[in-house]
C-alpha cells in the first residue's frame, strides 16, 4: 500500500464504509477513504465484495478489446509519460491509414469485437484522416471502435462520432487542480473536463480513469476523483499504477502499487456496478498476475495488444511493459488461457455499455 492509513472522525470504520458501498450509497470521502486505505486483511473482504458485485451485475464474461497503438508521436510533455515530446530517445512511428485498417481486420479475425485506437496527441491524424480510418474499419468489419487519442475540439469529436466511432477513453488522470497542473505542463484541468463533457454530449460510450501513485497524490484525492467520475457518469473506467519512466522528470519517484490500484478497482466496482472496468496492462507489467488479481477484484475487461510487432517496442509509456515482443495471435492465446484459468469465459458480443437509469 502506498497510502498511509488515516484515522480521524471524518472517516467511517471499515465495516460501516463497506456496508455503505454495498448499499449503493452515493460516494463520499467519509467511506471512500477508509476503503482505499484499508489493511490487507480488510482488502480481502473488499475484493470479495467487488468480485460478487461484478458477477451479479456483469456476469462471468470478460470483454476483450484489441489495442492498436498506431502512433507514438506526441506534442505534449506530460511529466510521467515515456512518449512525451521532450524524450528524444524515442524512435517515433506512425501507421498509415491502410495499415491501421488492415490491423483492425486482423483483430476481427482473431475474434475481437472491439478495437481501441490509441496514440500520442498527434496532429498528423487530422479530423478527416482519422474519420477515414474509422469509416474504413466500419466498412471492412463489424467491430466497435474506441478512440483514445487525447484532447480535441468538439467539432472533431463530432466528426469522428458521425464517422462511426462508438466509444472514447480520456483519462482525467487526477481531478486535483494542484496535482494536475504539476504533471501537465500543456494542459488545463477544466479543459480536459470540458472534453469529457463534450464526449458525453455526443453520446460516446464514455471512458475515463486515473493513474494511482502519482507523486503527491493522496487517498483523499483519489476519493474525490471517484466522486467526480460518478458525477460525470463514467461508463468505462481504466485505472493503473503509475510506473516511473527513466527518461522522464519523474524517474526518481516511487510510483504506484498493485495493492493500492486493486483497492481502487474494487471501490469502482461497488460505486459503478455496471461500468466496464479493465484489468490494465500496467497491472500486468508491475506483477505477473496483476491483471488476474484485478479481474478478481471487480474488473471485467482486458485489452490485449494487436499493434504490429515491428513497432510495439517503441510505444513504451513506462518501462517493463509486457507483450513488447509478442504478436497479436500469441497475446490472444495468452489472455484466453489466463481468463479460462480463473473459471471465466470470453464474451462474444460487442460489450457495449449497459445504460441503467439512475445507476453507475
Chain contacts with ligand SF4 (rule: CB under 6 A): 74, 76, 78, 81, 83-84, 120-121, 150
| Sole binder of ligand SAM in the list 3, 242, 266, 268 (CB under 6 A) | 242
- Residues 6 or more apart from 48 whose CB is under 8 A from it? none
How remote is the C-alpha of 226 from its chain's centroid? 14
Q: What angle do CA 37, 38, 43 make, to 5 degrees?
A: 125
8 A C-beta contact, residue 168 and residue 196: no
Residue 334 binds to ligand FES (criterion: CB under 6 A) = yes
DSSP label of 184 = -
278 interacts with ligand SAM by CB under 6 A = no
Does 326 engage in binding with ligand FES (CB under 6 A)? yes
From CA 311, how far away is CA 307, in angstroms rounded? 7
How far apart are the C-alpha atoms of 187 and 189, rounded to whole Å?
7
**For residues 248 and 212, what is the distance between their CA atoms, to the nearest angstrom?**
17
Helices and strands (DSSP H and E) totals, the chain: 13, 9
Q: Quick check: 148 binds ligand SAM (CB under 6 A)?
A: yes
Q: Which residues pair with 211 in a beta bridge?
A: 240
Residue 66 binding ligand SAM, by CB under 6 A: no
Q: Which is nearer to ligand SAM, 34 or 244 (CB)?
A: 244
Q: Is 81 in the site for ligand SAM (CB under 6 A)?
A: yes
- Among ligand SF4, ligand FES, ligand SAM, none, the one that 304 touches (CB under a kind-dependent 5 to 8 A) is ligand FES
Which residue lies nearer to ligand FES by CB, 76 or 291? 291
Question: Does 304 engage in binding with ligand FES (CB under 6 A)?
Answer: yes
How many residues make contact with ligand FES (CB under 6 A)? 9
Question: Taking the CB of residue 299, how many other CB atoms lie within 10 A of it?
Answer: 30
Record the cell numbers describing residue 339, joined without a space: 481468463
In the complex, least distance from residue 76 CB atom to ligand SAM, rounded to whole angstroms: 7
The correct pick among 147, 258, 267, 323 for binding ligand FES (CB under 6 A) is: 323
The span from the CA of 270 to the CA of 268, in Å, is: 5
CA distances from 231 to 7, 22, 161, 204, 310 (A): 27, 19, 23, 16, 41
Q: For residues 13 and 246, which CB has a smaller minimum distance to ligand SF4 in the complex?
A: 246
Judged by CB under 6 A, the residue of 330, 346, 352, 353 near ligand FES is 330
Among 335, 336, 344, 347, binds ligand FES (CB under 6 A): 335
The nearer residue to ligand SAM, 136 or 256, going by C-beta atoms, is: 256
β-sheet bridge partners, residue 287:
none
Chain positions contacting ligand SAM, by CB under 6 A: 80-81, 83, 118, 120-121, 148, 150, 170-171, 173, 211, 240, 242-243, 245, 282, 317-318
Chain positions contacting ligand FES, by CB under 6 A: 304-305, 322-323, 326, 330-331, 334-335
Amino acid at each position: 500500500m502506498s497510502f498511509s492509513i488515516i484515522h480521524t472522525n471524518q472517516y467511517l470504520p471499515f465495516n460501516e464504509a463497506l456496508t455503505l458501498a454495498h448499499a449503493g450509497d452515493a460516494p463520499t470521502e467519509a467511506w471512500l477513504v477508509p476503503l482505499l486505505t484499508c489493511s490487507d486483511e480488510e482488502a480481502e473482504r473488499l475484493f470479495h465484495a467487488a468480485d460478487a458485485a461484478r458477477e451479479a451485475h456483469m456476469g462471468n464474461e470478460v470483454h476483450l478489446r484489441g489495442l492498436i497503438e498506431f502512433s507514438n508521436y506526441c506534442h505534449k510533455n506530460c511529466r510521467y509519460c515515456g512518449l512525451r515530446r521532450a524524450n528524444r530517445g524515442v524512435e517515433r512511428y506512425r501507421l498509415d491509414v491502410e495499415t491501421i485498417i488492415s490491423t483492425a481486420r486482423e483483430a476481427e479475425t482473431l475474434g475481437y469485437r472491439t478495437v481501441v485506437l490509441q496514440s500520442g496527441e498527434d496532429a498528423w491524424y487530422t479530423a478527416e484522416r482519422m474519420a477515414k480510418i474509422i469509416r474504413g474499419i466500419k466498412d471492412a468489419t463489424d467491430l466497435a471502435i474506441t478512440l483514445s487519442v487525447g484532447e480535441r475540439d468538439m467539432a472533431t469529436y463530432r466528426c469522428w462520432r458521425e464517422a462511426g466511432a462508438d466509444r472514447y477513453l480520456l483519462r482525467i488522470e487526477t481531478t486535483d487542480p494542484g496535482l494536475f497542473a504539476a504533471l501537465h505542463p500543456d494542459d488545463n484541468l477544466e479543459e480536459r473536463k470540458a472534453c469529457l463533457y463534450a464526449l458525453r454530449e455526443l453520446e460516446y460510450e464514455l471512458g475515463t480513469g486515473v493513474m494511482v501513485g502519482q507523486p503527491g497524490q493522496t487517498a483523499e484525492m483519489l476519493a474525490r476523483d471517484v466522486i467526480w467520475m460518478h458525477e460525470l457518469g463514467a461508463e468505462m473506467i481504466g485505472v493503473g499504477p503509475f510506473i516511473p519512466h527513466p527518461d522522464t522528470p519523474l524517474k526518481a519517484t516511487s510510483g504506484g502499487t498493485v495493492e493500492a490500484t486493486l483497492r481502487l478497482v474494487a471501490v469502482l466496482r461497488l460505486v459503478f456496478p455496471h461500468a466496464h472496468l479493465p484489468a490494465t496492462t500496467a497491472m500486468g507489467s508491475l506483477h505477473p498476475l496483476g491483471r488476474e488479481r484485478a479481474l478478481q477484484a471487480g474488473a471485467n475487461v482486458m485489452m490485449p495488444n494487436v499493434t504490429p510487432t515491428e513497432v510495439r517496442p517503441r510505444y513504451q509509456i513506462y518501462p517493463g511493459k509486457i507483450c513488447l515482443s509478442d504478436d497479436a495471435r500469441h497475446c490472444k492465446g495468452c489472455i484466453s488461457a489466463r481468463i479460462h484459468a480463473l473459471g471465466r469465459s470470453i464474451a462474444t458480443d460487442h460489450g457495449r455499455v449497459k445504460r441503467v437509469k439512475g445507476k453507475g
